[in-house]
Structure 1
């Protein structure tokens, strides 16, 4: 069984596109081969700055011959109908067979499609994939029609079997496929002939090209750690930047540079961000004090001076960048944080929601109110909310927006603000995502909740709600932030009053339903069923999320038990009969049933059990003891089962029938004090 090797060598592919491109190449080529009748055992794709490569092993030698039988017109059909059928199947009348059918004799055609060679199919598939490749952006060059991310220089495409390697007969816009590639652009630009994937990879290694991006990442990480360790330093981990750097070089050469002394007083986040965004440098810190003191440059070639010239050039560029950062830092420090905040009064937050300054005042009022609920000092919470967004008008955040909050903390500390106020400036944006750390300091929690609640109520008030995949104002993220702040800090806080205190015009109940939907997403990873959450939410007023989750978890645990499953079956039976009879009679059987109308022991026992469960439930729910509440429900299982076994609900006596239907309603009412069981799936 032959192996296929494909390489597309071009000018530099942007690092951000490489991973997706290699995955697309693998998917499109393998799908194309399979759709044309070939099979394979394994496929692996690779990307470097200059090439996409795909290795497929265990490819079948030919596609199978296929036979298809197609029914045609009747023998006595009009001549034009028969001729049309012959054209559609590509046969002559002599090739057809005649068979008896219900309505007479009918023509049948057997269409035989002979198998094709792997080489023919591969050529057809590769050309289709290359011409239609889904680059986010592509270009044309020269006089050809082909579009590629950057000019395409060569195509290597070979099939290898026991007899050796055979280039695929393929030509795309004057680029003829062959068995030749090239190594590193500067260190080994000569042509390299290959016979199979192993020789391809081995010869590229010798020609200073590491084909696998994971190998390049591992080499960069290892060499960087060794260089830093030798200086008593450590590399700041940044997986995203490491992956991007690996997409910029084919032969990574790691160099260590020192930051000039005059820049070491800049905040480490400023140094790290500037070097990352502008230079793609990994930061290196002193583990003793956490200061960023050096950087890692990854060159794309070895040099006779061991990278000295490369380091010197990068140092000059970095010095210019850091000089700008130092200028921003010093200018910002000369501006009081309060003045920075006041500038936001002239900055529009949203054309229908006023300015940032107006929003800050709302957040401050809300933070003061929330502070009492979360154990924070109201004055500090209000102060923190008034200053937390001040750095948005700073020069540093204008240059590096990702430093918002971080710089606010530094400016607040330099201004002599309370540490809790400074920390809130940095932390109030969090959590930004499911993996982001949730603030726990009371002042930070108060401001973070106020910020997110204001966002939600404001956009709810102007009816800018998320729809489908559209969520331009990140309201789902804000809702998840509220949920995490409440639950991960164990807060007992009522949200409906806070929603009412938010931006005027928002519907608090509708917003709570949205939050419940997000809560379902949050709890899904913990194995909580969405319908269990809905059953508890349907009780109404469930805006204490900590209490709601306790109820949900207890209910799910109960439903997972045999008692819970059996009781749910009894509930469904009772509600089913009740609903059917209410619909038929046109009345609701919601009056209190009379025990003295019971006609058997099972009916009497059910009255007693419901009374006992009702009293016990009231106490358990008052004490927020949901485990006890579920135990009360469990006590109803046997009496309900016995009632249905020994009692006919639709008795002949109208008074007895009515009383028994009211008893079924009591079952529903008692159980629905814990959750609305009819919402559960299957109910």
Structure 2
């Protein structure tokens, strides 16, 4: 039986946000080190609690295999310094070298034999290296030692276990000697725990009030919380990030539900939820019928004797103080809006710099307002509504609530717009104009929201292109890739028909350019940036980059909706047998035609005449091209790309038959020219749908 390895690094509390990565880092450092030393294993798994990192490695070899290596050295008559250097690099002495015949005389060979090493010896080296070089984001020293750890490291458990029992790996790191003992819960357990295997370790920890697996702790918290809420006709607001964090704060989770004071029920639910999450790490409990947050769930790291009454009393007292602050901010903001309006609240933004080269937030809002008015008719929005929405959409940035909780920007804008009686569509635009924030975020659909969201993102992009602050490599400090993807999703999600180049050029004029040529170049570069983002977006939908390139080469490529409709139709066509075979027929025709044009020094682009057709297949191709032309032209004019692609794909069979039956380069020069002009018709008709020369394969 191969031994299993159990490691535990026991310390003061590890921050919850660091635990998952630390678990992965420990597994990586140890298993990579074992593998480099020739010690293979079957499986490795890691765990973390606030006070420990644990690694179990199953099926470890008892010894690393012996290694025999032959290394070729210099010639036997080489200078002494060359031979001495070889001896040092190989780690051998002169009498261990072997002289062997080679093509150019005799050369030295070093035969290096390394015997296998016991697992315990290798584990000790690897673990010490892992501990001393652990990549904590922040670490500290303590006492008089030089060892660094995220918090003071108190003990190391390191044992190998097989059928004969467990043995401690001899290891001493700055006076911390490895053993077979650990500790249970800080408050609920007393004394050290001796363990003999991972199963014994996990079971004894559970009896000592420690749940080792963070996923098990999270599941327990969620199940307990949802059952408590359900019993009272309520529901817990799901928050996976908070759940993972809380699971990293406790070793023995005890779930308690508390009350929120009636004085705070008038606060927006998002305020209650954010305040409780940020300050107290509480889960919000919601009344599904009213949408109000009515209670909270907290998780203790102890078994309270009074059922949690004292803990909840303390939590509710601290929570009341926090929510009193939030209530004060809310009421002050509403008072400001009553006194000066939402415009007045936002007036302070003239003193807030957006970017030193792009002016204040107020300057930016003025640009967005003007652009939103221009975009409004393109998206079916009322121009005055779009302009008003843009003018007040960032006013909440001046509010006390958003100053305290920046993540509520937009959400508070909606509440403040409603309090100012500005109308539901304007209130919605205040919240939705930031969206979509990511590939899975919702896309605004209300016309005013769409107009302001587009204006906001286009102003950002044209502005940063104007000052040459474009993304480079993986660096994108102003989230410009996200802004471009947001424009793409807004346009496609709402079927907006707009020439992107004209829109970008029109808005770019508000920025100071060195000359008109610089602006033109920047707009072309920005449009290319949009196309790159579009390729990434469509790739996730299964559309290849070469299909998009084939459509980008066509007229109207800056109309993103038109472009994507064409690309989707082409992608679907190429998935069919006719479409795939037509592509090969087109490429064959194009290659023959291109070679003939280069050889003859002329362009075969007109003059194909059916009266010179000899074979039936040749006559049939003339008829098929006429029929396709009659369908494709009106279909393209009406943007019915599916019909155009279908008509093009129908050429597959007559083109294949033509190539099988007809010799293009006939001896009769009239026939040859006519057939080359016929190939030109194939090329022209296919290229009127998409640039098939850009399709790979």
Counterpart for residue 56 of structure 1: 57
SS in 2 for 1:463: coil
> Where in structure 1 are there 5+ consecutive unaligned residues?
none
Which residue among 536, 561, 564 is the counterpart of 2:551?
536
* Distance in 2 (alpha carbons) for counterparts of 1:266 and 1:192: 49
Asked if 2 retains the 8 angstrom alpha-carbon contact of 1:535 and 1:679, the reply is yes
Asked if 1:675 is matched to 2:690, the reply is yes
Asked if 1:349 is matched to 2:350, the reply is no
The Cα of 1:358 is off from its aligned counterpart by 2.4
Change (3 A) 1:79 1:472: closer
Counterpart for residue 268 of structure 1: 269
Counterpart for residue 195 of structure 1: 196
> Where in structure 2 are there 5+ consecutive unaligned residues?
510-518
The Cα of 1:91 is off from its aligned counterpart by 4.0
Asked if 1:620 is matched to 2:621, the reply is no
The Cα of 1:583 is off from its aligned counterpart by 4.1
Which residue among 580, 594, 611 is the counterpart of 1:579?
594
The count of aligned residue pairs is 682
SS in 2 for 1:502: helix
Counterpart for residue 304 of structure 1: 305
Asked if 1 retains the 8 angstrom alpha-carbon contact of 2:556 and 2:562, the reply is no
Counterpart for residue 559 of structure 1: 574
Counterpart for residue 160 of structure 1: 161
Counterpart for residue 639 of structure 1: 654
Asked if 1:180 is matched to 2:172, the reply is no
Asked if 1:385 is matched to 2:403, the reply is no
Asked if 1:448 is matched to 2:453, the reply is yes
Asked if 1 retains the 8 angstrom alpha-carbon contact of 2:433 and 2:456, the reply is yes
Q: Equivalent residues in 2 for 1:125-274 (5 A)?
A: 125-274=126-275
* Distance in 1 (alpha carbons) for counterparts of 2:524 and 2:688: 20
* Distance in 2 (alpha carbons) for counterparts of 1:432 and 1:384: 19
Report Cα offsets for 1:106-150 as digits up to 9, x if no partner: 443322111111111111111111111111111222222221111
* Distance in 2 (alpha carbons) for counterparts of 1:592 and 1:144: 91
Asked if 1:424 is matched to 2:425, the reply is no
The Cα of 1:11 is off from its aligned counterpart by 1.2
* Distance in 1 (alpha carbons) for counterparts of 2:631 and 2:686: 12
The Cα of 1:651 is off from its aligned counterpart by 4.9
Q: Equivalent residues in 2 for 1:315-394 (5 A)?
A: 315-335=316-336, 336-394=341-399
* Distance in 1 (alpha carbons) for counterparts of 2:74 and 2:505: 73
The Cα of 1:299 is off from its aligned counterpart by 1.6
* Distance in 2 (alpha carbons) for counterparts of 1:243 and 1:177: 30
Change (3 A) 1:585 1:326: same
* Distance in 2 (alpha carbons) for counterparts of 1:637 and 1:253: 70
* Distance in 2 (alpha carbons) for counterparts of 1:15 and 1:237: 19
Asked if 1:119 is matched to 2:120, the reply is yes
Counterpart for residue 18 of structure 1: 19
Report Cα offsets for 1:312-336 as digits up to 9, x if no partner: 2222222221111111111111122
SS in 1 for 2:284: strand
Asked if 1:475 is matched to 2:480, the reply is yes
Greater shift after overlay, 547-556 or 178-187?
547-556
* Distance in 2 (alpha carbons) for counterparts of 1:359 and 1:89: 67
Change (3 A) 1:330 1:84: closer
The Cα of 1:103 is off from its aligned counterpart by 2.7
Which residue among 549, 571, 581 is the counterpart of 2:564?
549
CA RMSD between the two structures = 2.3
Asked if 1:438 is matched to 2:443, the reply is yes
Report Cα offsets for 1:334-384 as digits up to 9, x if no partner: 122110222223322222222222222222232233332323222222221
Greater shift after overlay, 126-135 or 219-228?
219-228
The Cα of 1:463 is off from its aligned counterpart by 2.6
* Distance in 2 (alpha carbons) for counterparts of 1:309 and 1:356: 48
SS in 1 for 2:196: coil
SS in 1 for 2:299: strand
The Cα of 1:206 is off from its aligned counterpart by 1.4
Greater shift after overlay, 12-21 or 93-102?
93-102
Counterpart for residue 516 of structure 2: none
* Distance in 2 (alpha carbons) for counterparts of 1:119 and 1:422: 67
* Distance in 1 (alpha carbons) for counterparts of 2:328 and 2:287: 24
Asked if 2 retains the 8 angstrom alpha-carbon contact of 1:592 and 1:666, the reply is no
The Cα of 1:82 is off from its aligned counterpart by 4.5
Change (3 A) 1:460 1:607: farther
Asked if 1 retains the 8 angstrom alpha-carbon contact of 2:664 and 2:675, the reply is yes
The Cα of 1:601 is off from its aligned counterpart by 5.0
Normalised by the size of structure 2, how large is the TM-score?
A: 0.93
Normalised by the size of structure 1, how large is the TM-score?
A: 0.94
SS in 2 for 1:6: strand
The Cα of 1:167 is off from its aligned counterpart by 0.7
The Cα of 1:274 is off from its aligned counterpart by 0.8
The Cα of 1:649 is off from its aligned counterpart by 4.0
Report Cα offsets for 1:516-540 as digits up to 9, x if no partner: 2222222223211111111111113
* Distance in 2 (alpha carbons) for counterparts of 1:240 and 1:218: 13
The Cα of 1:515 is off from its aligned counterpart by 2.1
